Structure 1
Amino acid sequence: MDGRLVVVGSLNMDLSVTVPRLPRPGETVSGADVVRGPGGKGGNQAVAAARLGARVRMVGLLGDDAHGGELRAALVAEGIDDRAVGTLPDTPSGLALIVVRHDGENTITLSPGANDRLDESALRTLTAGTVAHRADTVLLQLEVPLPTVLAAARAARAAGALTVLNAAPLPAPDPLLYELLREVDVLIVNETEAAGLLGRPGGGSWTARAEQLRRLGPGTVVVTLGAAGAVAAGAGSPLTEPGFPVHAVDAVGAGDAFCAQLALALGQKRPLADAVRGACAAGAVAATRPGAQRALPTRAEVDALLARDPR
């Protein structure tokens, strides 16, 4: 294993159902049997990073319900250090209700539960004041309170770790969010999140919009474009990486696989172009299988896809 990575984020139990089409407001659509499994953007990215070869430490909160015990067991089964995952009494664990269309598009309704209690005090207690914990990289998302994410980013940067933010799900406009962007080294967003951060639908190329996002603070910005791949803007010239042609069945875990692979590669100081290409491959493999964590690829699977499409 290589690369030391800390993930600060959410842990949820996912309940998902596949439907022929996404329901309109007020409409009932019949679907397949419910699939239950561990998720949450934090948990997903931690599991993805572990399967891709990183030494991972998870920081988060669970409830004292049955879901909490299952979620912790899932982390441990992947070889993830769970010593900074706390359990809160009389509190439910996070829960996500996911509806997936046959082509992989989805909608998600989230009940944060214990994730909403991960405040700055809890963060300090869980990490003994050292978020980075000798990490090369700290990976963050926005399914826990924004002030906590900002505190984690500052602590990671102070410790000299590469700080990576997946700005999802994007909250309502908040000055703290733009303060956070000035504290991260790498920003990962999808098209909708990019438009939200820029405050407009956006015009011009995606590489131009990635450059605009860099002006908000991050040294590197990567915009994911689904099946079309990704664009990135960093210290050198902007780059475009096309997607990998695969038969997608469920995109729920694809973004988390992308983020984990990108964070791991950049933490190892790989060139940005190589890191983005590998991240696109990781996302593509995850999209070929249903579910969140059970769809996340191993390093061997990503390497195999890269070898089949050397470009």
Structure 2
Amino acid sequence: MSTAVLGQIARDLVLLTEAVPGPGGTVDVHRRLELLGGKGANIAVTLAQLGARPALVGVVGDDETGARLVQRCVEDGIDVRGVRRRRGTESALMVDVVTDDGQHRYLEHVPSATLLTGDDLDPLGGLVEECDSAVLQLQQPAAAVRCALGMLRARGALVVLDGVLEDESHREPVVAGADVVRMDAREAELWAGRRIRDPEDAARVAADVLRLGPGLVVLAVGDQGDVVVTPQDRLLLPQVDTPVVDTTGAGDAFVGTLTWALTSGRDPVEAARRGCAAAALTVGRPGGRPALSPGAVEELAATITPSPLG
């Protein structure tokens, strides 16, 4: 069986430089990378590197960039039957400027036509019959997400949500239909509508999310780690102390690895430990593209010790 991933597909341009210039200034770029990117594609690449069979559902333009992105997906072992090439639009572009101090700035050009619509989900019907799990990346419009969710629930697939919907009126109904919810620190505060002070506070927010229906909620808490809440557990998985070059893509690696581990039979806490390990292995590289293997993930996950929360 395979995992469907609904989400963004983009060209990633990563620029490594000493510093960001001020108005009228110039700095040299000492390294440039051009990659397959976007959260949906990054999650699918993560799954493929770990030995899963991901199918990507998303939109690229009918430009040369779109053709290259689809070809790269194929080379990465990703099923592209669900990728729509939208006539008359440009493919999305992400520019990631990384300075020597480890800070990054993002510039994004995401044409509205590169977002999913209900019509784009036609191929999902066939893919769902082959999938036992799916990741819904919530940067997509609420209507498309809810349409996909309905199809997946009817199939009985494991549904993992990544992020939070921009449209507040759809947030709770979508979460109620999911099995797993993962939010980064910014998304968790957007959901809560307030600042989250510490892991204990995050655990309370996660417990509120859990009451809507999911069986597992994972919230990132700044540089302290990830809070994992299930009906049985409230735990903090500490952030792994590894060299950080660029945090881009860490959350995508977490979500892809979490899904892989759950579908491989790991319990929720063990799956989240592997997600933390994958994120730590990704931040040591520039850009959002991971470079993972099951062995490396398992080895690092074994060093992560959960701490109980009240």
* TM-score when normalising by structure 1: 0.88
Q: Distance in 1 between matches of 2:191 and 2:94?
A: 24
Q: Distance in 1 between matches of 2:304 and 2:94?
A: 37
Instruction: Mark the CA change 1:179 to 1:29 in structure 2 (over 3 Å): closer, same or farther.
Output: farther
Instruction: Mark the CA change 1:36 to 1:236 in structure 2 (over 3 Å): closer, same or farther.
Output: same
For 1:201, which of 195, 202, 216 is the aligned residue? 195
Q: Distance in 1 between matches of 2:304 and 2:214?
A: 30
For 2:150, which of 145, 151, 154 is the aligned residue? 154
Q: 1:16 Cα deviation (Å)?
A: 2.1
Q: 1:133 Cα deviation (Å)?
A: 2.8
Instruction: Mark the CA change 1:178 to 1:131 in structure 2 (over 3 Å): closer, same or farther.
Output: farther
Matched, 1:30 2:24: no
For 2:170, which of 170, 176, 190 is the aligned residue? 176
Matched with 2:241 is 245
* Amino acid aligned to 1:300: G
Q: Distance in 1 between matches of 2:241 and 2:285?
A: 14
Q: Distance in 2 between matches of 1:174 and 1:306?
A: 35
> Does structure 2 conserve the Cα–Cα contact (< 8 Å) formed by 1:227 and 1:245?
no
* TM-score when normalising by structure 2: 0.88
Matched with 1:39 is 37
Q: Which moved more, 1:113-122 or 1:190-199?
A: 113-122
Matched, 1:69 2:67: yes
> Does structure 1 conserve the Cα–Cα contact (< 8 Å) formed by 2:9 and 2:39?
yes
Q: Distance in 2 between matches of 1:200 and 1:29?
A: 38
For 1:16, which of 8, 14, 17 is the aligned residue? 14
Matched, 1:297 2:288: no
> Does structure 2 conserve the Cα–Cα contact (< 8 Å) formed by 1:130 and 1:155?
no
* Amino acid aligned to 1:232: V
* Amino acid aligned to 1:276: A
For 1:89, which of 87, 90, 96 is the aligned residue? 87
- In angstroms, what is the RMSD of aligned CA positions? 2.3
Matched with 2:132 is 136
1:274-294 Cα offsets, whole Å, 9 max, x none, are: 11111000000011111122x
> Does structure 1 conserve the Cα–Cα contact (< 8 Å) formed by 2:86 and 2:113?
no
SS at match of 1:108: strand
> Does structure 2 conserve the Cα–Cα contact (< 8 Å) formed by 1:253 and 1:286?
yes
Instruction: Mark the CA change 1:216 to 1:297 in structure 2 (over 3 Å): closer, same or farther.
Output: same
SS at match of 2:280: helix
Q: Distance in 2 between matches of 1:280 and 1:73?
A: 30
Matched with 1:268 is 264
Matched with 1:236 is 232
Q: Distance in 2 between matches of 1:212 and 1:190?
A: 16
Unaligned runs of 5+ in 2: 306-310
Q: 1:23 Cα deviation (Å)?
A: 7.1
> Does structure 2 conserve the Cα–Cα contact (< 8 Å) formed by 1:12 and 1:40?
yes
Q: Which moved more, 1:9-18 or 1:220-229?
A: 220-229
1:210-254 Cα offsets, whole Å, 9 max, x none, are: 212223443321012354321111121211111221111011121
Q: Percent identity, please.
A: 32
Q: Distance in 1 between matches of 2:130 and 2:243?
A: 39
Q: 1:139 Cα deviation (Å)?
A: 0.4
Unaligned runs of 5+ in 1: none
